[in-house]
Chain A
Amino acid sequence: MKSFTNVNPKSRQEVMALLKKAVEEQQTASLAGGGSDLLGMIKDDLVAPDVVVNLKDLRDLREIEPHSQGVRIGGLVTLQELSQHPLIRSQYTVLAEAAGTVATPQIRNVGTVAGNICQRPWCWYFRQGFPCFKHGGDRCYSVVGQNQLHAIFGGGPSFIVHPSDTAPALMALEARFRIAGPDGERVVPASDFFVLPREEVNRENILGPDEVLIEIELPPARQNVESTYVKIMDREAWTHAVLSVAAVLEIDQGVCRMARIVLGAVAPIPWHLPHVERMLVGQRITTELAGNAGQAAVSQAQPLAKNGYKVPLTEALVRRTLLSLAG
């Protein structure tokens, strides 16, 4: 690997100054939270940063803080902490479950929630270093290649799927992301954070090279809400989702009052299904309605040559997830 400079800034200001300096000096800076993905990418020659900005000393970003307006989750909270936190487990179950499905215990112990949200694609072409769109190239090799794991929604010109487990959960919870940048901080809804390749082909979110996802804000927990994260994997641990469903339902006296359903691993961004949610609100979730919702979930699917199985898979998993929550 190419040698790089490691810096451990002590404050957000110092982080911003380092990123600004790197941009000015036309250097590549990489942010390290837990570093579990970054180190692997450096070793595999997929990135070659001049500077690694290691965020580990930003203690205030390691806290989960409940307050009157919801919960503030620092970007450096580990996936393990998130999955075990009593309040997150009881009130924001979908998020605790999503964090608990990531990779392995070792990775969850170091991997951070911000890192999980901002991880680069796990498309095998990207990870093997093919000169694809995501590496600044001019094509997506999956289109005429091995696209078993690729997008059935929102693809083109790149057909990667967004690999994060926590991102669909956070979108389903209507979380907001706090971003620090050179001109101060801004807060955006999670659903505005991710970008499709047709808008921006070589990155997966709105972060610029001098910006940092520092915090996640969860809205106040609601009454009568049940939520869950269901992840389909090709082995029982240490792999990304083939498909996942993050679902949040508010059910009062048997009637669905609110629904948020977001799919993971089927599109280049977490894939929100508002038209399915509209079918559910005001209704009792019966076997028939859940079946119709499953069908509606995939009505817009555009599979490639080898990922057609994801369509009936998604249909079945959406149906089952709704029934299990409503049950």
Chain B
Amino acid sequence: MAEELKTLGHSTPRIDGLQRVTGRATYSADVQLPGMLYARVLRSPHPHARILRMDLAKALSAPGVKAILTHENCRLVWSSGDRVNKRYLFNNPLRFVGDAVAAVAATNRHLAEEALKLISVEYELLDFVLDAEEALQPGATEIHPGGNLSPIISFRSTEPGKREPSIYMRGDVERGFAASDFVFEDRYVSKHVNNAQMEPRVALAHWEGDKLTVWTPTQGIANCQRDIARDMNLALEKVRVVCQYMGGGFGNKNQCQDSDLMAAQLAKETALPVKLELSRKEDFVCVHGRWPTSQNYKVGVLKDGTLQSIQLRGYSGMGAYRKSGGGISGVEYFRCPNVKTEIYPAYTNTAVSANFRGPPYPQGVFGIASILDDISHELKIDPVDFYLKNVTRKFRDSIPYTSSGLLECIRQGAELFEWKKRWHPAGSQQGPIKTGIGLAAGGFGASVGRSSAVLRLDSEGLLWLHVGVTDIGTGAKTTMAIIAAEAMGIDLDRVQVISGDTDRTPYSVGESGSRTTSHTGNAIVEAAKDLKQQLAASGPPQGDQVLIAEATPTPRLEGMVRYSFAVHFVEVEVDTELGGVRALKYVAMHDSGRIINPLTAASQVKGGVIQGLGMALHEELLYDENTGIPLNPGYYGARVMTHVDVPNVEVHFVETEDAYGPFGAKAVGEPPIVPVVGALSNAVFNAIGIRIKELPITRDKIIGALS
């Protein structure tokens, strides 16, 4: 770590920032092809219904209409739309409001929209259930054959397991409770919130002979290519996925979306390019958001606050299809000899729940941070001391971390935040306007693993970096260029990044799970070593010569776990009469190892804090319980944070030394949202002395709790 770094570690504006902010960047929706058709999707107006009859005659004869897909004429399976059940592009029965009924391609957008209204569908209405716990009650309507408890799935396997809750255990919780001086129990509820990334889903599909090209915003061109090839029954090399610029994803664009397949199939049938654009409302209801949870905790402690036993029984509402894990995580950040977590993922007739930044954590940290905060309050222990005593030293108390700045984040953060000066016992302030402070801790795996990079050095001294990444807003293109420049010892402006196109780049792991910097960054460092050896052996290339180096390292961690950590401190002001909550001061402490680009890393932290505050204070996809129809999809209705809602967020990095990432970098992307909701919940409790146990912490709940 001692060597002087020329580019890496210095704040660097994004290499494509100017194009993005001046409107010159070509996003997927901007791509136009000659003769292109537009597609629109008819959506189920009912939460659970069987299609009895469809009549397409009128729509097919409407002006400009070229093709219509339905469950009757299109039996394609959208495999990444459900990891357990066979989810077709068009399903019957329909399982949530927004489930696709038909897709129409027409010569322009308006004709496609008008044609949707001409499709007549006769539905048989079925019972529906919106809540995960209700869905598991005897007699609840069955959303998939076999009942509403969704099977165990793991990231390692696509083979679904048994219909049992997902259980983690160490020690013996009952013995732990018996050995405790105090045992606390409580229940917390979190809601479905949408990723709300700026760019909605869009797909443009074009066939040239038997080769399919799809322009689509995706957090992983290689994954998307593999998904499309599998579902369309094509060889991998017959599918090209392009994503040059992207307007955010936050987990919403991990996999291939059904719109990619619909556009591809419509393009095939019409022999014309087809663009399918999802509206903001469709993006909120028909893609996916964070899974809602209910969490029942039982925690045993000694008088001095030492944790003895933690038990969690939780329920996750996965919506109508099983796209993702559905865990509730946060307990893992604490050392405790006896732990049992038992999670029930359940189908509901609602929008699908799947990955959203730090998928199982913000909601889980809200729960565990809330009950532990209540415990430190009851035991009259300062929360900072409680955290210093109880946070994890080894993963699950057994496996060492490759590096951990967690304790340092707590200590330094408390100083920077002036915790001791601001602290007062919960609810002790007089008057209607009260302040309160809170903290919470979290983290996210900073895995290492297989990814590739190709470096090509030409005789002009330009370094062409081919990486299969898409810059989803994290600054990955810039990060990759910085790593290459530093590894080769050249200036950043000599690096040309080729990315976001499966025909022009090697495999990359995909922009999810905070993996790109470590996985693909390591590949760049490896390839650079090779290139430098070639240079040393044969000298710089001359004329038309190029030197090419490739690396696909597959690093593994033996007997260790690699994590990034985050500890957040927040001060809020609560107006108890008007029910409003405002964040006054926010300090975000992060251990992400070596920071490659402090500018974009800090921006990512701020973005995560903003999203977390939205989840804590505003957002919830609200359903009408009588009809099963969502009431507030979209930026306006969901009250996604605006600029004026955002407090000043102070970001500090504790740069631990970690030997496993490129130049010691760990992960930045996922962790920032993880502790936010827990910290905010604790600050509100400290202000008003009452715990709001259900998200979001809105005016009606605060006024209701205090009256």
Q: Which residues of A are interface residues toward B (Cβ below 8 A)?
A: 1-3, 44, 104, 124-125, 127-128, 130, 141, 144-146, 148, 232, 234-239, 242, 306-309, 312-313, 316-317, 320
Which chain A residues border B17 with CB–CB below 8 Å? Answer: none
Given known A145-B624, A148-B700, contact A317–B639 (CB-CB < 8 A): no
Q: How far is the CA of A141 from the CA of B618 in the complex (A)?
A: 23
- The distance from the CB of A305 to the nearest CB of chain B, in whole angstroms, is 11
Q: Are A309 and B704 in contact (CB under 8 A)?
A: yes
**A236/B645 in contact, CB under 8 A:** yes
Q: Tell me the complex Cα distance, A125–B645, Å.
A: 26
What secondary structure prevails in chain B residues at the interface with A? mixed
* Chain A CB within 8 A of B625 CB: yes
Asked whether, in the complex, the Cβ of A236 is within 8 Å of the Cβ of B644, the reply is: yes
- Per the 8 Å Cβ criterion, residues 555-595 of B in contact with A are 577-580
Excluding A124-B622, A141-B626, 13 further A-B contacts by CB distance (< 8 Å) are A44-B281, A104-B642, A128-B629, A141-B624, A146-B625, A146-B631, A232-B580, A236-B642, A236-B645, A239-B636, A308-B704, A309-B704, A312-B703
Q: Which residues from chain A contact B642 at a C-beta distance below 8 Å?
A: 104, 235-238
Q: Would you call B199 an interface residue if the criterion is a C-beta within 8 Å of the partner chain's C-beta atoms?
A: no
Contact B700 A306 (CB under 8 A): yes
Q: Are A309 and B699 in contact, CB atoms less than 8 angstroms apart? A: yes
Which residues of B sit under 8 angstroms from A306, Cβ to Cβ?
700
* A145 adjacent to B110 (CB under 8 Å): no
Name the contact of B703 in the complex, choosing from A1, A144, A239, A309 (C-beta under 8 A). A309
Would you give the 0/1 interface string for B681-707, flagging 1 where the beta carbon is closer than 8 Å to chain A? 000000000000000001110011001
- B459-470 vs A, Cβ < 8 Å mask (1 yes, 0 no): 000000000000
The answer, yes or no, to whether B382 is at the interface (CB within 8 Å) is no
Closest A-chain residue to B110, C-beta based?
Answer: A1
14 A/B residue pairs, CB under 8 Å, sorted by A: A1-B114, A104-B642, A124-B631, A124-B637, A128-B630, A146-B622, A148-B700, A234-B639, A234-B698, A235-B642, A235-B645, A237-B644, A308-B704, A313-B578
Q: Which of A1, A128, A145, A234 contacts B626 (CB 8 A)?
A: A145
A2 touches B114 (CB 8 A): yes
- In the assembled complex, the CB of A233 is this many whole angstroms from the nearest CB of chain B, namely 9
Most central of A44, A124, A242 by chain B CB within 10 Å? A124
B579 / chain A contacts, CB cutoff of 8 Å: 309, 313
Q: Does B186 contact A (CB under 8 A)?
A: no
Collect the chain A residues with CB atoms within 8 Å of residue B580's CB. Answer: 232
Q: How far is the CA of A3 from the CA of B627 in the complex (A)?
A: 31
Q: How far is the CA of A181 from the CA of B238 in the complex (A)?
A: 65
Given the contacts A234-B699, A309-B699, A312-B707, A145 and B641 also touching, CB distance less than 8 Å? no
CB-nearest residue of chain A to B633: A128
Residue from A3, A235, A320 in contact with B618 in the complex, judged by beta carbons closer than 8 Å: A235
Taking the closest CB of chain B, its distance from the CB of A128, in whole angstroms, is 6
Shortest beta-carbon distance from B396 to chain A in Å:
39
Residues of B within 8 A of A316 (CB): 432, 577-578
Distance, CA A233 to CA B154, complexed state (A): 42
Any A CB within 8 A of the CB of B632: yes
A317 to B625, CA, bound (A): 31
Given A124-B637, A234-B639: A3 in contact with B631 (beta carbons within 8 A): no
Q: How far is the CA of A239 from the CA of B630 in the complex (A)?
A: 18
Which of A130, A144, A308, A313 makes the CB contact (< 8 A) with B629?
Answer: A130
Which residues does chain B contribute within 8 Å of A125, judged by CB atoms? 624, 631
Residues of A near B645 (CB, < 8 A) are 235-237
Closest to A40 in B: B636
Flag whether B113 is at the interface (Cβ < 8 A): yes
User: A141: which B residues are within 8 A, CB to CB?
Assistant: 624, 626-627
Q: A313-B578, A316-B578 are in contact. Are A235 and B641 (CB under 8 A)?
A: yes
Nearest 6 CB-CB pairings of A with B: A316-B577, A236-B644, A124-B631, A309-B703, A309-B700, A237-B642
Q: Kindly list chain A residues whose C-beta atoms are within 8 Å of the C-beta of B639.
A: 234-235, 239
Q: How far is the CA of A70 from the CA of B161 in the complex (A)?
A: 76
| Known contacts A128-B629, A128-B631, A234-B698; A312 and B577 CB within 8 A of each other | yes
Give the residues from 597 to 631 in chain B that come closer than 8 angstroms, CB to CB, to chain A. Answer: 618, 622-627, 629-631
Provide the residues of chain A in CB contact with B624, threshold 8 Å: 125, 130, 141, 145-146
Whether B578 contacts A232 by the Cβ 8 Å rule is: yes
For B582, the closest partner residue in chain A by CB is A236
Inter-chain CA distance A239–B632, complex, in Å, is 12
Chain A nearest Cβ from B17, distance in angstroms: 23
- Kindly identify which residue among B110, B432, B629 contacts A3, using a CB–CB cutoff of 8 Å: B110
- A317 nearest in chain B by CB position: B578
CA distance A141 to B641 in the complex (A): 28
Question: Within the assembled complex, what's the spacing in Å between the Cα atoms of A128 and B631?
Answer: 6
Taken together as a complex, chains A and B put the C-alpha atoms of A56 and B580 apart, in Å, by 39
Closest chain A residue to B580, Cβ basis: A232
B625 contact set on A, CB distance < 8 A? 145-146
In the complex, the answer to whether A242 meets B577 with C-beta atoms within 8 Å is: no
Q: Decide yes or no: A313 and B110 within 8 Å by CB, A130-B629, A144-B626, A234-B618 being known contacts.
A: no
Contact partners of A148 in chain B: CB under 8 A: 700
Q: B471 → chain A, closest Cβ, in Å?
A: 27
In the assembled complex, the CB of A232 is this many whole angstroms from the nearest CB of chain B, namely: 6
Hey, which chain B residues are within 8 Å of A313, CB to CB?
Answer: 577-579, 699, 703
**Please, which residue of chain B has its CB at the minimum distance from the CB of A306?**
B700
A180 to chain B, nearest CB (A): 32
B236 to chain A, nearest CB (A): 39
Considering the chains assembled together, what is the distance between the CA atoms of A232 and B577 in angstroms? 12
With the chains together, A141 CA to B627 CA distance in Å?
10
Distance A239 CA – B645 CA, assembled complex (angstroms): 12
State the CA gap A238–B622 with chains docked (Å).
Answer: 19
Q: Which residue of A lies closest to B624 (CB)?
A: A145
Cβ A238 vs Cβ B636 within 8 A:
yes
Inter-chain CA distance A264–B536, complex, in Å, is: 76
Nearest CB in chain A to that of B114: its residue: A2
- Report the minimum CB–CB distance from A119 to chain B (whole Å): 13
Q: Give the CA-CA distance A117 to B557 in the complex, in Å.
A: 64
Q: How many angstroms from the CA of A85 to the CA of B80 in the assembled complex?
A: 56
**In whole angstroms, what is the CA distance A239 to B704 when docked?**
22
Residues of B within 8 A of A144 (CB): 626
CB distance from B616 to the nearest CB of A (A): 12
Cα(A127)–Cα(B624), bound, Å? 13
B618 contacts across to A, CB distance below 8 A? 234-235
A56 CB → nearest B CB, Å: 23
- The residues in B between 631 and 681 inclusive whose CB is less than 8 angstroms from any CB of A are 631-632, 635-637, 639, 641-645
Residues of B within 8 A of A236 (CB): 642, 644-645
In the complex, which residues of chain A have a beta carbon less than 8 angstroms from the beta carbon of B113?
1
The residue in chain A whose Cβ has the minimal distance to the Cβ of B696 is A234
Q: Nearest Cβ distance between residue A320 and chain B, in whole angstroms?
A: 8
Q: In the complex, A237 Cα to B579 Cα: how many Å?
A: 17
- Which residue of chain A lies nearest to B631 when distances are taken between CB atoms in the complex? A124
Bound-state CA distance A313–B580 (Å) is 10
> Which residues from A are CB-within-8-Å of B578?
232, 313, 316-317
Q: State in angstroms the CA–CA spacing of A127 and B113 once bound together.
A: 18
A60 to B624 CA separation, bound complex (whole angstroms): 45
Closest chain-B Cβ to A52's Cβ sits at a distance in Å of 15
Name A320's closest neighbour in chain B (CB-CB).
Answer: B577
CB neighbours (8 Å) of B631 from chain A are: 124-125, 128, 146
Of chain A, the residue at the smallest CB distance from B704 is: A309
Task: Give CA–CA (A327, B138) in the complex, Å.
Answer: 61
A242 adjacent to B699 (CB under 8 Å): yes
Distance, CA A238 to CA B635, complexed state (A): 9
Docked Cα-Cα span, A238 to B638, in Å, equals 11
Q: How far is the CB of B157 from chain A (nearest CB, A)?
A: 40
Chain B residues lying within 8 Å of A320, measured Cβ to Cβ, are 577
Q: How far is the CB of A102 from chain B (nearest CB, A)?
A: 13
A307 to B627, CA, bound (A): 20
Best-surrounded residue of A44, A234, A237, A316 (most CB of chain B within 10 A) = A234
Residues of chain B with a CB closer than 8 A to A312's CB: 577, 703, 707
Q: Closest B-chain residue to A230, C-beta based? A: B578
State A145–B630 Cα separation when bound (angstroms).
Answer: 12
CA distance A92 to B432 in the complex (A): 30
Query: Closest CB-CB distance, A96 to chain B, in whole Å?
Result: 19
